[in-house]
Structure 1
Amino acid sequence: MARKVGAALLLGTATVAGGAAPALAQTEAAKPAGYAALETLFTEWRVFEYSGTRDGAPDYTAAAMAKKATELKQWQARLAAIDRAGWSTSQLIDYQIVRAEMNGLDFDLRVLKPWERDPAFYQLLWAAISDTPAHEGPMAHGEIELWQYKFPLDAASAKKLTAGLKQIPPFLTQGRTNLTANTRDLWSAGIDTMQEQSDALADLEKRAGNREVARAAAEARKATDSFVTWLKAELPKKTGPSGVGVENYNWYLKNVQLSPLTWEGEVALLERELGRSHAALRLEEHNNRNLPQLAGATDAASYEAQATKAVKDYLKFLGDNEILTVKDYMEPALMAQRGTYVPPERQNFFHITMHRAPMTLWTHFYHWWDLQMTEKDPHPSLIRRAPLLYNIWISRAEGQATGMEEAMLYAGLFDDRPREREIVWIMQAQRAARGLASLYAHANIFTMDEAKAMQVARTPNGWMSPTLKLLAGEQQLYLRQPGYGTSYISGKHQVDKLIGELAEAKGKDFRIKDFYDGMNKSGMIPMSLIRWEMLGKDDEVKKIGAY
C-alpha cells in the first residue's frame, strides 16, 4: 500500500497547499474571519511544525527548540484570533484539532522533550508500516520509510533513499549533545531500539543492489553502532525517573488528546476493566468446561487455511448481519495481514491468539480498514485528511479496534465458537493490565521493569512471555507516549458510551450500522470530537476546555 506517514506526508501536504513558510507578522494584522482563515493557518502551521535542518539532519538542538517555543505562542495567538461566528459543528471540530496539535508541540517543548529524554527518538529508519495513521510515539522528522521502497530500486528511489540515509550520522552526532536528561528507563530501552536500527541497516546494506545506497547504509550503520556504544557507556550515570508525572499526564490528556478522563479516572477505569475481564474469562471457561481446548494451527498449511477462512467468515458475518458497510478493500486489507505460521516457542501473545482463534484478532485489525479508508476515501476536510500530529488519533484508532473485539462477541460472531469467546476476554485483560501498569510508570510509582512484571502477572493463563520482545516494546512505547497504553481501554470506553448515548437519542430508529458508518465518516480524530459531531452535544468538549 503506497501510504505516506509522519512528517514527510505532513510537510508534503503543506507544501503543495501553501508553498513557502508562514509570515508570522500576520499575527499583528487584522483579526482573520471565517473558516478559510483556519485552513490557511493549518497549512502554514504544518510547515512551521516540521523541524528545520542542521548539518544535513533534523534540527532538535536546544537553540532550535527555544526558538520554536517562542514562535509557537504567535501561532496560538493567530488561532485564537480567528472569528468562529456562524461556524458549523464540523468546522468548530476542525478548529479544536488545530488547537490540540499546537498544544501537542507545547507539551513536547515543555515536558516530554524526547530529543533530550529519549534515545529512541533518534531512530530514523522504519522497516515496517504502522497499523495506525502514523507511527506510534514521538518521532523525529526526516524519517525513512523503508517499507515504501520496492527492490530492486529504480534510480529515483535509490537517490531518495541515499539522501535519507545520509541524515543518520549527523543526526546521531547531534543526539550526543541533545540527550541531557536523567531518564534511566527511557535510556535503557532506547539502546535496544537503536540496535534494531543497526540490524535493519546491515540487512539493507546486503540487499540494496545499489552501490550508493549500500555505502550510505554502511555509514549509517557504523554511526548507529557508535551511538549504541555511547548510550551503553552513559547508562550507569542515568538514575532518574522517566514518567511525566500525574499533573503533566492530566494536562496532556485534556489539552492534547482531548480526553474527558484524568490519570485517576483512567486508573479506576482500567482496574474495573481488568477485574471484569478476568471474571468474564473464568465464567466463559466454566461454561465451556466440557468442551475440548482450542488446539490451534500446528504447521504452515493448517495456519494458512485457518487464517484465510477466518477472514472470509468474519466479513460474511459483518455483511449478513448489517454491522457496517463492507467495502471492497476490507478483505484484501485483512488478507495482507494474516501472517504466517510461527513455532510455539517463538509465539508472543498475539501469535498465540492468531494460531488458536485468528478471528478474535481480526476484529482488532479494524486498523487496516482505517488506513484503507484514509487512502481511498479521504475526509473532505483538509484538516482531517492527513494523520493528526502527536498521536491525537489514539482514542479513535485504538479504542475502536479494541472495542470491536468485545462488540463482535455480543453481536454473535463467536456464538458457534464458544472457546474463542475466552480469547476475547484474555485480550481485554492483557490490554487493561498493560495500560494500568503504564499509568503507574508515568506517575513514577513503577519502574519499567515493575510495569512489565505487572503486565506479565495479570495477563491470564501465562500468555504474556516475560522474555519475548513484545513485552519490552509495549511498555517502552507507553512510557514514551503518555496516554497510549491506556487508549485501548479508555478509547473503547468512549466508543461504548457513544453507542449507548446514540441509542438513547434515536430509540427504535437506532441501527448499529449507522453508528459504525457514521463514526468512520468523522475520520481519525479524538472520540470526544466524534461524539460532538454524531450526537450534537458539546458538554464533554466544553468540560475539557474546548470551544
Structure 2
Amino acid sequence: MTSLETDLERLGTQFWEWRDATSFRTSDDIPRVERPAGWLPRFDRAAVDEFGIALAGFAERWAAIGGPGLEELPVATQVDHRLLGAAMARVHWELEVLRNWERDAVFLTSQVLGPWFDLLLAPPPFEARRQSDLVRVLEGIPAAVEQAIANLDRSGVATLARVAVADLRDIGARLASSVEALVPLLHRVTARSLAEAQPAASEALERYRGWLAASADRLGPDVIVGRAAFTWYLRHVALVVHDPEELVRAAMQDSRRSVVAEAATRARHRDLPEAPLATSAASESADQAAAETAVRAFTEASGLMSQPDWLRRYLFAPIPAYLEPVAFLGVNDDLTSIRRVGETATSYVPEPRPDLPYFDAANARDPRLGIIHEGAHAQQLALSWAQPNPLRRHFVDSVANEGIAHYNEELMLTAGLFAGAPHSQAIVHNFMRLRALRVVVDVNLATGAFTLSEAVDFFVRMVPMDVETATEETAYYVATPGLAMAYLVGKHEVMRLVADAAVEARLDGAEFSLRDVHDAVWRNGNVPMSLLRWELLGDRGDVDVLDGAGPWWPSPPTGVSGTH
C-alpha cells in the first residue's frame, strides 16, 4: 500500500467516525447509523460552526491526497477518493446550503423526538445501554424544544411550520402512550426514570406545537436552492452528470410509459378480483416470511443475483404498541447497521384496514411488493457493510441506494416474479408512475421552475392527489431537494450501467452474466453509478463530465439563489 493509499484509508476512518457522531438525525432509513452512547443531535449555531471547522480540516486533507500521484494509483483507489469527497460535499450541502437545522420545523421535530423513535426500532430485548439512552433522550426533550424554537424564531419557514403542527397533533398524549407501552419491557429503574421524565417532555412538545401554530404566519417564505446550487449537488454529491432539465424530460417519458403499462394490465385483467387484504398484521407477517424465502429462491434460480447463505433475512412484524404513537417520525423499519450486519432486518406493519396508506395497503395484499424494494435495501446494505473495503460501507447519497431498490422493482416484474398476480403487476407500474412524477416536482421546485402552488397543482392533476396531501409532500421536497428524484434517476443510472455492460460483453465476444453485474452493483451499492462505470467498464466519460464542474473544495456554494 502506498503512502497516499494509507493516508486515504486513515482519513476515511476518521471522517466516518466523526460523521456518525455529528450528522443530524434523519427520518430516512438508509442513512441511519449507530451513534455513540448517550448521543443527542446538536443543531445550535455553535455546533454547526464547530462542524464546519472540522469539515474544512477533513476537506483540506482530502484535497491534498488528490494531488500529484493519485492518478498513478488503481482506478478503485481513485474511486474511493472521489466517493469520500462526495461524502464531505454532502456535509457542506446540509450545513450551509439546505440549512434545515434552522429553517425546517419538520426537520427540527425529527431532531427533538426522532432519537426516541430510533431507539425503539430494534426488536427487544432492550439492553442496558439502550435503556440508558432512552432516558437521556426523554430528559433532553425540553432543552431540545427550546433550541428548535430559537432556531425557527430566527430563520423558520412558514409552510414547514404548518406541516409540523399537523404532524404534532396530540403529541403529548402520544408520547405518554409510547412510554406507557414500553415500560413493561424495561428495568424498574429505567421505567421509573422514564415515568418521571415523560410529563415534562410531553409538555415541552405541546409547547413546541403551540408556538409553531401561533408563529407560522410570521415566519419566512419557502427557500428554493436554485438551479446553480442544485446542479452543484448533482455534480459533487450525487455525482450525476445530467442537467436538471434532462432529468425532468426523462421522468415525464417514464411516467407516460408506466401509465400505459398500468392501464393495459388492468384492462387485460379487469374481471379478476383484487387480492384480499391480510386478515391481521400477524398473518401478513407470516405470509411475508414465506414470500421472502420464495423471492430469494426466485432471484437465485433466475440467475439475477447471488443469495449467499450468510445474507440476513428481511421480515415483517406487527408494529409494537410503543412505536405506533410516534410512527410518523420515520420509516418504520430496523435495517440494522454495520455492526449488526448479520441480524434480521425488520419492517413493522400496521393492522390491515381499508384505509391503509399507499405502500402499507400494497404490502397487505401482496407482501412481495415490499420485499422487492425495502427488502432490496436490506440486502444491499448488508452486502455493502460486509465488503472488505471500509470506504464503501457508508451512505453518501440516496440516488445510488434508492436507484438500486427501484431498479429491483422493475427487474422482478420483468423477470416474472408477479406472473400469477396481475394486480401486483399493475401496482408496480403505479409505483413507477408515482416516482417519475416525484422527479418532476422535486427537480422543478429545486431549480425554481415550479412555485409551491404549481407543484401542488401538478400533483393534484397528475397523480391524482388531494390538495392537503400534495401540499404536505411538496413542502418536504422544498426542504430536501434531490431525495424524491433519487428513485427514478438512480434507476436510470443502474439500467444504463447494466445495459452498457451487456453491450460491451457482446462486442468482446464474452458471455454476459447479469448475476455478476448485479452482484457488483449491490456490493458497491453506496457508490454512484458514474464511478462504478469507470471501475467496472473502464468508461470514464461520466467522470470527465464531473471533472468539468471543477473541484468542490475549496469553493463550495455558500447559499441559495431565490425564494418563492
Name the TM-score, length of structure 2 as normaliser: 0.77
Structure 1 position 222, deviation (Å): 2.0
Query: Quick one: which amino acid aligns to residue 90 of structure 2?
Result: G
Could you tell me how far 1:324 is from its partner in structure 2? 1.0
Alpha-carbon distance change, 339 to 153 in structure 1, aligned in 2, over 3 angstroms: closer
**Equivalence for 2:398:** 394
The residue correspondences of 1:129-168 to structure 2 (distance < 5 A) are 145-148=118-121, 153=126, 155-168=128-141
CA distance in 1, matches of 2:120, 2:127: 15
Q: Deviations over 1:56-113 (max 9, x none)?
A: 9654333443454455434322211115253222211111122112212222333211
Across the aligned residues of Structure 1 and Structure 2, the Cα RMSD in angstroms comes to 3.2
Question: What is the CA distance between 1:361 and its match in structure 2?
Answer: 3.6
Determine if contact 1:395/1:491 at 8 Å carries over to the other structure. yes
Gaps of 5+ in 2: 25-38, 184-190, 317-345, 552-564
State the partner residue of 2:501. Answer: 502
Deviation at 1:329, TM superposition (A): 6.1
Q: Aligned equivalents of 2:520 and 2:241: distance in 1? A: 21
Residue 354 of structure 1 and its aligned partner are, at CA, apart by 2.2
SS of residue in 2 equivalent to 1:415: coil
Amino acid in structure 2 at the alignment position of 1:111: V
**Further displaced range: 365-374 or 487-496:** 365-374
What residue identity is the alignment partner of 2:426?
Answer: E
Residue 363 in structure 1 maps to residue 372 in structure 2: yes
Residue 383 of structure 1 is matched in structure 2 by 391
When structure 1 is superposed on structure 2, of 95-104 and 354-363 the one drifting more is 354-363
Q: Give 2:491's aligned residue.
A: 492
How far residue 427 of structure 1 moved from its aligned partner, in angstroms, is: 1.1
Give, in whole Å, the separation in 1 of the partners of 2:348 and 2:180. Answer: 28
> Secondary structure in 2 aligned to 1:485?
coil
**Match for residue 16 of structure 1?**
none
Counterpart CA distance in 2 for 1:217 and 1:449 is 39
Deviates more, 1:81-90 or 1:303-312: 303-312
* 2:276 alignment partner in structure 1: 296
Structure 2 CA distance for partners of 1:283 and 1:271, relative to 1, 3 Å? same
Q: Which residue of 1 aligns with 2:8?
A: 38
Query: In the alignment, does 2:434 pair up with 1:435?
Result: no
Cα deviation for residue 495 of structure 1 reads 0.8
Q: Which residue of 1 aligns with 2:358?
A: 349
User: Does residue 106 of structure 2 align to residue 104 of structure 1?
Assistant: no
Give the counterpart letter for 2:253 in structure 1: R
Q: For 1:34-433, what aligned pairs fall within 5 Å after superposition?
A: 34-46=4-16, 49=19, 50-51=21-22, 58-70=41-53, 72-82=55-65, 83-122=69-108, 123-124=110-111, 145-148=118-121, 153=126, 155-179=128-152, 180-181=154-155, 183-194=157-168, 198=172, 201-209=175-183, 210-289=191-270, 291-297=271-277, 299-300=279-280, 303=284, 307-328=288-309, 332-335=313-316, 336-337=346-347, 339=349, 341-344=351-354, 346-365=355-374, 366-374=376-384, 378-385=386-393, 387-388=394-395, 392-433=396-437
Structure-2 separation of matches of 1:496 and 1:256: 20
- The number of equivalent residue pairs is 487
Against the structure 1 CA distance between its residues 308 and 75, is the aligned structure 2 distance closer, same or farther, given a 3 Å change threshold?
closer
CA shift in 2, pair 1:61/1:356, >3 Å:
closer
Contact 1:307/1:338 (<8 A) preserved? no
| Residues 379, 523 of structure 1: 8 Å contact kept | no
The structural deviation recorded for 1:308 is: 4.9
Question: Which piece of structure 1 moves more, 363-372 or 142-151?
Answer: 142-151
Distance 1:152 1:212 in 2: 18
Instruction: Provide the residue aligned with 1:534 in structure 2.
Output: 536
Greater CA drift, 481-490 or 224-233: 224-233
Does structure 2 retain, via aligned residues, the 8 Å contact 1:205–1:215?
no
Moved more, 260-269 or 149-158: 149-158
Contact 1:503 1:510 in 2 (8 A): yes
Which structure ranks higher in relative contact order (CA pairs < 8 Å, sequence separation ≥ 6)? 2
Equivalent AA in structure 2 for residue 296 of structure 1: P
C-alpha distance after superposition, 1:457-484 (max 9, x if no partner) = 423xx6x67667xx67654543332211
Aligned equivalents of 2:301 and 2:22: distance in 1? 49
Report the Cα offset of residue 228 of structure 1: 1.6
Percent identity over the alignment is 25
Alpha carbons of 1:196 and 1:455: their partners in 2 closer, same or farther (altered >3 Å)?
Answer: farther
Letter in 2 for 1:327: P
State the match for 2:331 in structure 1. none
| Contact preservation (8 Å) 1:384, 1:525 | yes
Equivalent positions of 1:515-534 (< 5 A) are 515-534=517-536
Q: Is the 8 A contact 1:260 1:540 kept in 2?
A: yes
CA contact (8 A) 2:93 2:233 kept: yes
Change (3 A) 1:279 1:297: same
Contact 2:71–2:78 (CA under 8 A) maintained in structure 1:
no
CA distance in structure 2 between the aligned counterparts of 1:533 and 1:200, rounded to whole angstroms: 50
Alpha-carbon contact 1:364-1:402 (below 8 Å) kept = yes
Change (3 A) 1:534 1:200: farther
In 2: Cα distance, 1:148 partner to 1:288 partner:
39
Aligned residues of 2:41 and 2:111 also touching (Cα < 8 A): no
Evaluate the alpha carbon distance shift between residue 530 and residue 202 of structure 1 in structure 2; reply closer, same or farther with a 3 A threshold: farther
Label 1:79 to 1:143 Cα distance change in 2 as closer, same or farther (>3 A).
farther
- For residue 269 of structure 1, report the CA deviation from its aligned partner: 1.4
1:426-469 Cα deviation digits (max 9, x unpaired):
1111111223222233234545565455335423xx6x67667x
Q: Is the 8 A contact 1:429 1:458 kept in 2?
A: no
Structure 1 range deviating more: 259-268 or 196-205: 196-205
Q: Which string of whole-angstrom CA distances, capped at 9 and with x for unpartnered residues, describes residues 166-218 of structure 1?
A: 33222221222222225222222233445586565323332343111222333
CA contact (8 A) 2:237 2:397 kept: no
The structure-2 alpha-carbon separation of the partners of 1:503 and 1:149, relative to structure 1 and needing over 3 Å to count, comes to closer
Q: Provide closer, same or farther for how the CA distance between residues 143 and 257 of structure 1 changes in structure 2, counting only shifts above 3 A.
A: farther
**Which residue identity is paired with 1:177?**
A
Gap change, CA 1:415 and 1:224, over 3 Å in 2: same
Secondary structure at the residue paired with 1:327?
A: coil
